[in-house]
Amino acid sequence: MSQMFPVTVLGGGSFGTALATIAAENGYPVTLWVRNAELAQTINETRYNPRYQPDLKLPESLTATSDLKAALTGAELVFMSIPSKGFADVLAQARSYLTPDQILVSTTKGIEANGFKLMSQILSEETGSTHIGVLSGPNLAGEIAKHQLTATVIASEDDQTRSRVQQVLGSHYFRVYANTDIYGVELGGALKNIYAIAAGMASALGMGENTRSMLVTRSLAEMSRFAVSLGANPMTFLGLAGVGDLIVTCSSPLSRNYRVGQALGEGRSLDEAVDALGQVAEGVNTVRLVKHKAEAMGIYMPLVTGLYEVLFNDHDPRDIAHLMMNNQQSTDVEFVLPREEVIKSAQKVARMPAVKASGDQTHE
């Protein structure tokens, strides 16, 4: 590969545009593919993406196009920043222009309904490439566009993929850490969207900081339980793509998932909340998919189950919160004290005769 090799970003939404800008600022020739030819022209003429990043001035080394073949021909590193609903579609269109030595990196934080697949699995199945990676972390696009100091994770089993992405995106305001647990990193990004909806809802309902802290920490327990059951490494959840992304998305109204939760907490319907957003909130679909997957696999996920009832069965979030507070007592960190042990010992205690007060014994 040449020093400043061509980089392509598929998807000119808020994140694709922010990412393309970092690479272009680092001196790489970047092509941003958008499906709308008029938008490509506007970007090239004005140097702005008015719908998704209206305040971000785009570098001269960034060129937009709606021609997928032109976007991919000669690109050595390709980022896919397409919402999960359109990911497989765009890849199917792109496949005939891809070559085996290209590096393919998904930035999508969602799950494909058909077969419960993550984007890296779709990339791998559809292309057979060995240069596949996932980029995920606490990365609010609006903050990246303002050059706020930010860190992310590139996960790949391929060391060339990890190093190239660190080289292309690492900058004075964007730091790229490496991981090999592609599945854990990708699941972290997808699952935290669920809990961001719950956190936005809790905030709109006036719940306090103790509640937020409980919610974030129990979300971490729940998402790592699910991910580990699917083969991820629990340690990944201690990193930026786990707890890091969970913290930012559960605390900031810049997160679209958080905003959907806020709107629901304010009494709006799910349709109204999603329509008002005008951008993707992956968590809505992820709640549905994870609820069914967890049920099928017998994984205990009370937060997902409760949120599902609020989103899709019109249950009152306050009632669900109270129900959860009255659930069976559980363990703090189940990798230290397993849940089953807590449940077993609670059952044992329940079967024991009541302890007599010491005064009673002296009178017997």
Ligand X SMILES: O=C(CO)COP(=O)(O)O
Ligand Y SMILES: NC(=O)C1=CN([C@@H]2O[C@H](COP(=O)(O)OP(=O)(O)OC[C@H]3O[C@@H](n4cnc5c(N)ncnc54)[C@H](O)[C@@H]3O)[C@@H](O)[C@H]2O)C=CC1
Work out which of 104, 196, 228, 304 binds ligand X, going by CB under 6 A: 196
Contact yes or no for 119/110 (Cβ under 8 A)? yes
Residue 337, number of CB atoms within 10 A of its CB: 13
Q: Which of 6, 12, 244, 261 binds ligand Y (CB under 6 A)?
A: 12
Annotated active-site residue in 192, 291, 293, 348: 192
Residue 293: active-site member: no
- In 23-61, the DSSP E strands lie at 30-33
Contacts 24+ apart (CB under 8 A), 34-40: 34/64, 34/65, 34/66, 35/66, 36/66, 37/66, 39/12, 39/64, 39/66, 40/12, 40/64, 40/65, 40/66
Please list every residue from 63 through 102 that binds ligand Y, using CB under 6 A: 81-84, 86, 89-90
CA dist 122 and 315 (Å) reads 35
Q: What does 286 interact with, of ligand X, ligand Y, none (CB < 5 to 8 A by kind)? A: none
Give the range of 58-66, 70-78, 177-185, 278-286 binding ligand Y by CB under 6 A.
Answer: 278-286
271 CB-contact burial (10 Å; exposed 0-12 / middle 13-18 / buried 19+): exposed
139 touches ligand X by CB under 6 A: yes
Based on the shown chain and the rule CB under 6 A, indicate whether residue 16 belongs to the binding site for ligand Y. Answer: yes
Burial track 210-236 (b if 16+ CB lie within 10 A, e otherwise): eebeebbebbbbbbbbbbbeeebbbeb
Q: Is 154 in a helix, a strand, or coil?
A: strand
Q: Which of residues 93-112 bind ligand X (CB under 6 A)?
A: 109
Residue 257 binding ligand X, by CB under 6 A:
yes
List of residues 6+ apart from 41 with CB closer than 8 A:
64
Q: Which does residue 91 bind out of ligand X, ligand Y, none, counting CB within 5 to 8 angstroms by kind?
A: none
Give the nearest residue (CB) to ligand Y: 13
Site string for ligand X, 266-285 (x = CB under 6 A): ----------------x---
- Is 141 labelled a binding residue? yes
Q: By the criterion CB under 6 A, which residues form the site for ligand X?
A: 109, 138-140, 193, 196, 245, 248-249, 255-257, 282
- Which parts are annotated binding residues for NADPH? 14-15, 35, 52, 109, 141, 256, 280, 282
Q: By the criterion CB under 6 A, which residues form the site for ligand Y?
A: 11-16, 34-35, 52, 81-84, 86, 89-90, 107-110, 139-141, 279-280, 282
| Residue positions annotated with a catalytic role | 192
